Amino acid sequence: MKFRLMGITDLSTIDWPGKLAAIVFFQGCNLLCPWCQNVDGIDPRGGRDAEVEDAVQHINGLKPIIDSIVLTGGEPLLQPEACLEILKSSKELGLNCAIETNATDPQALERLLPYLDLVAIDVKAPPSDPGLYEKVTGSTGMPGLAQKVKEGLKFAVDSKTEVEARTTVVPTLNDDEKIIVQVAGDIKGINCLRLQQFRNQRTLDPSFQKLPMPSRGRLLELARAAKQGGIKKVKIFTVEGGLETV
């Protein structure tokens, strides 16, 4: 089976803390977040054609040094059949499996959940605010976008798989205590919320490169607001401090 691949990182200790993971980057994304720093992964025509069997063979060859794989992108759920085959084969190899996704295809996510040990869902804004969600994702006019994310979150929580919500804090869009508290209220039942620092080195919309990155101190303030909003476990990820539990 062919799929569109951006690339494979043979070993990462960052993407899944505590695990030695190979990272499979699927090409193509259905959102156009103006602040996105992974610009090369958006166009579904980018990357290269690859065979699922070759990717699995490559992963198998890494087994002496890895114990896990992470499917990411782009957006891996745009290629659900390839995701399913890679996850099934990885499980047969005895590997832990995770996915990083925007959860905008809840039915595809539901199919993959039996093979996943961790689901990291990018919650770009409060799903209870569809207008803001469209603005933050640059996807104005996508029918039912926020509702799809809600459904994806529910499927993941109901599966009893470990679930982490991840929100990138972007000035002018969601860098606000009230918005983060609203996110916290919308994701109750999830194991953990990770607030991530917006990076301005390269963005889909070049005007976002003029915005300052929120400081570690600012993310700590927002993390405390999220905890007051009902999330017990909150982490922040910054250039200054790496991954920290608040």
Domain span at residue 21 reads 2-245
**Average of pLDDT values for 228-232?**
89
Provide the pairing of β-strand 234-238 with 2-12. Answer: unpaired
Per-residue pLDDT at 141 exceeds 80 = no
Q: Percentage of the chain surpassing pLDDT 90?
A: 93
**Average of pLDDT values for 88-106?**
97
Per-residue pLDDT at 4 exceeds 90 = yes
Q: Which two tokens stand for residue 81?
A: 């059949």
What is the reported pLDDT for 82? Answer: 98
More confident site: 188 or 86: 86
Residue 239 Cα distances to 44, 96, 107, angstroms: 29, 27, 35
Per-residue pLDDT at 160 exceeds 90 = no
Residue 31 Cα distances to 42, 53, 122, 169, 191, angstroms: 8, 28, 12, 17, 25
* SS3 assignment, position 155: helix
Lowest mean pLDDT: which of 85-89, 208-212, 229-233? 229-233
Q: Which two tokens stand for residue 2?
A: 């062919």
What is the reported pLDDT for 78? Answer: 97
Q: Percentage of the chain surpassing pLDDT 70?
A: 100
What is the reported pLDDT for 28? Answer: 97
The alpha carbon torsion through 123, 180, 129, 155 (nearest 10 deg) reads: 40
Task: Choose among 91, 102, 88: nearest CA to 33.
Answer: 102
What pLDDT digit, counting tens, does each position of 108-125 carry?
999 999 999 999 999 999
Domain count, the chain: 1
Answer for the pair 90, 59: CB distance below 8 angstroms, yes or no.
yes
Q: What CATH number does residue 96 fall under?
A: 3.20.20.70
What is the reported pLDDT for 188? Answer: 86
